[in-house]
Amino acid sequence: MVVKVTLKDGSIREYQKGTTLARVAADISGRLGREALAASLDGRLVDLATPLERDAGVVFYTFDDEEGRQVFRHSTSHVLAQAVQRLFPGTRLAIGPAIADGFYYDFDSPVRFTPEMLEKIQAEMESIVEEDLSFERLDMSRQEALEFFRRAGEDYKVELINDLPENAAISCYRQGEFTDLCAGPHVPSTGRLKSLKLTGLAGAYWRGSEKNKMLQRIYGTSFPRKSMLDDYLFRIEEAKKRDHRRLGTELDLFSIQEEGPGFPFFHPKGMVLRNELERFWREVHRKRGYQEVRTPIILNRSLWERSGHWDHYRENMYFTRIDDSDYAVKPMNCPGSILIYKSRLHSYRDLPVRLAELGLVHRHELSGVLHGLMRVRCFTQDDAHIFMLPDQVKDEITGVIDLVDYFYSVFGFKYRVELSTKPEKAMGTEEIWELATGALEDALKSKETDYKVNEGDGAFYGPKIDFHLEDCLGRTWQCGTIQLDFLMPEKFDLSYIGEDGQKHRPVMIHRVVFGSMERFIGILTEHFGGAFPVWLAPVQVRVLPITDRQLDYGREVTARLEREEIRAELDDRNEKINYKIREAQGLKIPYMLVVGNREAENGTVAVRHRSAGDLGPAGLEEFVSRIREEIRTRSV
């Protein structure tokens, strides 16, 4: 029997029923046969060993595709688990997924793993790769799977099976003597996993709950070629140099104190950077028709019950009691903005109403996931809530897309876009979710924006568009968000008076651009390696007298810069000029003005740039004019 295969480009090929997808890939081209890792069969991700049973649409994935990378690294995590059980018998397996740029596996082992052991484990993994063991899928009944893993003493796998629905299909994958519970798919054999590296150890609670046992997590990454692994490891080393936690200390920007884990302290220089970002934010929002508001940090329980946070977000919130009533510290700003909108009657002529807030929110995060400014327990969201007529939705969404695009272009960021749909835990009907999701899709298509659908990752009250920044190392960070909400206006009985004199329900948009001021500062610090553009630099110029004889002139230069609101410091220490220059460069100060006898006599300065070095002499007024223009244009 012949079956028809429809390929990604729309072409159709015919094969005998039972032909494997691996054979199809090799038939299309020798290169695809060598590089294909998995395939999609009518939209379902499957192994290349899968046989064709009927006419189907087929897409092949290589390491160039996200799907291919996920399969490749998930397969490597199985090799890691096999190596650990070979070396340390009695180790029980938890889970081992692919993650961004790598994979991990969690173990319950009688042996305490150390960094030194990683080399031994990696060597065993490389041996398994050399053995070129086939990944074989085993479909089991629920009872067969339970009996198999009970005999093996794999309690965590038994728990996972018991948590599956009664009618769930259960599969395992075997390579050599090793078998693991897994939905798959996997690469054809371990020999495909050419270049791998174990990168670290960590503790992790089983299923992410502090109530469960602490397991040992081993992290790693893998690539099909050594050159790709080498490039990745280089970027990792570069990332360490740019780590915002280290630079935050070295540049005296912020700190995290033992007395407030997850609650960052901003130092004077960090506040300069933060205030510049906020000034820019306010300037742009004012020009685009937003009105700034501020709402309380603590609000009554009844508000959070009404908004749905009490039922859907309570585990992430902090609470207190005031006058024998329950209150919550706000995890989001939206209910406060809703109360401001609701405080007076609105006409259709007033809409859209755009309320913007730099609002401090608090969310409970587990101590194990806290990470500098990137994952904190209190942060300032650059929120805005737009209340609009139903026929204004598309224009308002496209307006926010334009706003986000402008913001990121100022910092030189490229970005990609995802559309996140209804999560498992959500409020509202399917009809409302379809309406909201369709409106976001229409806006993206009208802007001809490429986007990826991120199924099930929307907010509990509405779908959202997420913007992922790409930094100088190619890493992506989710920052901006646009959430369309038909539900909160219903819950809070929001209204406006229409042309007909009757009350009508507005539609609401929740959106952020920076996302979190704290996290965005962390991203900027790593992106620029602490060498911020002049307009953001906490200190823009340091004046360096060569000897004490030029101190008076150095003070004149510094005062002149300060009159122009240029952030300048005078280094009046009795140190050698080369030492002063090296220190200023280490602090990432954009410009150094060296002044000696000649400069003092001529009213000039010798200009040095932190990366370009000596730029030669310049008149003081000429330099002031040049740096003011650089600041005004927010040049990066």
Please state the rounded mean pLDDT for residues 441-456.
Answer: 88
Q: Closest Cα partner for 370 from 252, 468, 247, 260?
A: 260
Could you tell me where the DSSP H helices lie in 88-183? 115-131, 142-151, 155-163
pLDDT per position as a tens digit, 140-167 = 999 999 999 999 999 999 999 999 988 8
Long-range CB pairs of 35-39 (<8 Å, 24+ gap) are 35/62, 35/63, 35/224, 36/60, 36/61, 36/62, 36/68, 37/61, 37/62, 37/63, 37/68, 37/71, 37/72, 37/187, 37/192, 38/67, 38/68, 38/71, 38/185, 38/186, 38/187
- Report how far residue 130's alpha carbon sits from residue 405's, in angstroms, rounded to the nearest whole number: 48
pLDDT for 461:
75
Domain ranges for the chain, please list them.
2-62, 67-240, 265-295+332-527, 541-632
CATH architecture of the domain with residue range 2-62: Roll (3.10)
Long-range contacts of 284-288 (CB under 8 A, 24+ apart): 284/403, 284/406, 284/407, 285/356, 285/384, 288/354, 288/399, 288/403
The string of pLDDT tens digits covering residues 364-411 is 998 888 999 999 999 999 999 999 998 899 999 999 999 999 999 999
- Determine contact, residues 85/111, Cβ cutoff 8 Å: no
Per the CB < 8 A criterion, the answer to whether 158 and 40 are in contact is: no
Predicted model pTM: 0.78
Q: Is the pLDDT of residue 418 over 90?
A: yes
Q: Beta partners for 385? A: 355, 510
CA dist 551 → 574, 587, 609, 620, 624 (Å): 10, 22, 21, 16, 19
* Residue 290 near residue 356, CB atoms below 8 Å: yes
Model confidence pLDDT, tens digit, residues 265-313: 999 999 999 999 999 999 999 999 999 999 999 999 999 999 989 988 8
Amino acid making up residue 88: F
1 falls in which pLDDT band (50, 70, 90)?
confident
Q: Tell which residue, 24, 44, 8, 35, has the closest CA to residue 184.
A: 44
Domain 67-240: top CATH class: alpha beta
Looking at CATH, the fold of the domain delimited by 265-295+332-527 is given as: BirA Bifunctional Protein; domain 2 (3.30.930)
The percentage of the chain sitting over the pLDDT mark of 90, rounded to a whole number, equals 84
| Residue range 309-327, pLDDT digits in tens | 998 889 999 999 999 999 9
Residues belonging to the active site: 334, 363, 381, 383, 385, 464, 510
List the structure tokens of 152.
């093996």
Tell me the average pLDDT of the chain.
94
State the virtual CA torsion across 230, 234, 237, 241 in degrees, nearest 10: 180
Instruction: Tell me the CATH architecture of domain 541-632.
Output: 3-Layer(aba) Sandwich (3.40)
* Higher local confidence (pLDDT), 422 or 286: 286
